[in-house]
Amino acid sequence: MENRKTSQPAREISSLGRYFRIYAALWRNSVTRELSFKANFLMWIVVETLWFGLQLSFIGVLYLHTDHIGTWSKWQVVMLIGASHLIQQIFQAFFLINCTNLSELVRTGKLDFLLLLPVNTRFVVSLRQVDLGAFVNALSAVGVMIYAAHRLHLTPTLVQVFGFLLLCLAGVLIHYSLMFLLASVSFWTVRAQGIVWGYYNLFQIARMPDEAFRGLFKAFFTFAIPMLLVSNVPVRLLVNKFSASSLVTLLAMSVVCFALSELGWRASVRRYTSASS
C-alpha cells in the first residue's frame, strides 16, 4: 500500500516532465520555422508596432478634446492600452495560430494523426506553434506601461505587480478559452476561421475604459464576452482603482470560460468521425 502511495506522485512528476519535453520540442520547431522565414518574422513585428502606435495616437487626439473618460485620465488610458496590447500579444504568442488552424486540421484530416498520439490532444492542438514575434511586441507594451506609470508618478508594490501579472494570465485564459470554443465549431461547419477572426477583432474593445460604456452593451461585454474585464481589472489594480468584486468577477469568468471550452471540445471530438469517413 505504501509503495502505491509513493509511486503516484512519482508518476505525476514523470508525466509533467514528459509534457515539458514535448513542449520544448514544439518550441524548437517554432524557432526553426521562424528562422526559415526571417522576412515574414520581421514584417509582422513592424505591422504590430505600427498598429500599436496608431492606437496610442488615437488616444492622444482624443484627449485633445477632453481631460477624462469617466474617471480615467490620459496616462491611465495609455497604461490600459499597453496592458491590453501585452495581454493580446501573449495570447497571440501561444494560442492564436493554433486556434485558427484547428479548422484546417479538421478539414484536411490531420487531426486524425494528433488523436492517435499518446498525449492529451487538446494540449498538442493548442500549443503546436509559437509566434515568437509576439514576444518582441509584448516588450513594447511593457515599455509603454512603464512610461505611463512614470508620468502618473506610480510606484507599484511587488504585490501589485504580482497581482497584475496574475490577472493578465486570467485574461489570456479567457481569450484562449473563448477562441478555442469558437474554433471547435469547425467540427460542425468545417471552416470556422471567420468566426475565430471575428472574435479576435473584438479585442479592440478591451483597449477602452469600462466607464466609457453603459447599459446592455457594457453588461454583454462584461459577462457574456468579458472583454471589458480582461485589461481593465489588471490596470485598475496598478492605478489604485481596484475593487474586490471586479477581481472575483474576472477570476470567475476565466474559470467559467475554460470549463465551457472544455465541454465544447469534448462534445466536438465525440462528434468527429475523421475526414475519410
In this structure, how many other beta carbons lie within 10 angstroms of the beta carbon of residue 191? 12
* Residue 173 and residue 147 in one domain: yes
* Residue 76 and residue 187 in one domain: yes
Show the cell assigned to 165. 501579472
* Residue 21 and residue 46 in one domain: no
Specify the DSSP class assigned to residue 202.
Answer: G
* Residue 55 and residue 114 in one domain: yes
pLDDT confidence of residue 9: 65
% pLDDT > 70, the chain: 92
* Residue 176 and residue 45 in one domain: yes
Q: State the pLDDT confidence band at 2, using cuts at 50, 70 and 90.
A: very low
Residue 118 has pLDDT above 90, yes or no: no
> Which whole number is the average pLDDT over 60-88?
90
Q: State the pLDDT confidence band at 12, using cuts at 50, 70 and 90.
A: low
Q: Which of 17-26, 122-131, 140-149 comes out lowest in average pLDDT?
A: 17-26
> What residue has cell string 477632453?
66
Look at residue 187 and tell me if it is in a domain: yes
Look at residue 63 and tell me if it is in a domain: yes
* Residue 183 and residue 88 in one domain: yes
Look at residue 201 and tell me if it is in a domain: yes
* Residue 20 and residue 73 in one domain: no
Look at residue 277 and tell me if it is in a domain: no
Look at residue 81 and tell me if it is in a domain: yes
Instruction: Report CA torsion sign: 245, 216, 75, 65.
Output: negative
Q: State the pLDDT confidence band at 77, using cuts at 50, 70 and 90.
A: very high
Domain residues for the domain of 110 are 39-271
- Cβ atoms of 88 and 137 within 8 Å: the answer is no
* Residue 79 and residue 118 in one domain: yes
Look at residue 276 and tell me if it is in a domain: no
> Which whole number is the average pLDDT over 22-51?
82
Say what the pTM is.
Answer: 0.88
* Residue 98 and residue 28 in one domain: no
Average pLDDT, rounded, for the chain = 87
Show the cell assigned to 79. 497604461
Q: Number of folded domains in the chain?
A: 2
Residue 6 has pLDDT above 90, yes or no: no
* Residue 26 and residue 78 in one domain: no
pLDDT tens-digit series, residues 188-237: 876 667 777 888 888 888 888 988 888 898 889 988 889 989 999 999 99
* Residue 164 and residue 255 in one domain: yes
Rounded to whole angstroms, the Cα distance separating 267 from 277 reads 18
Residue 4 has pLDDT above 60, yes or no: no
Residue 138 has pLDDT above 70, yes or no: yes
Rounded to whole angstroms, the Cα distance separating 246 from 252 reads 10
> Which whole number is the average pLDDT over 142-157?
94
Contacts of residue 226, Cβ cutoff 8 Å, sequence gap at least 6: 174, 249, 250, 253, 257
* Residue 59 and residue 19 in one domain: no
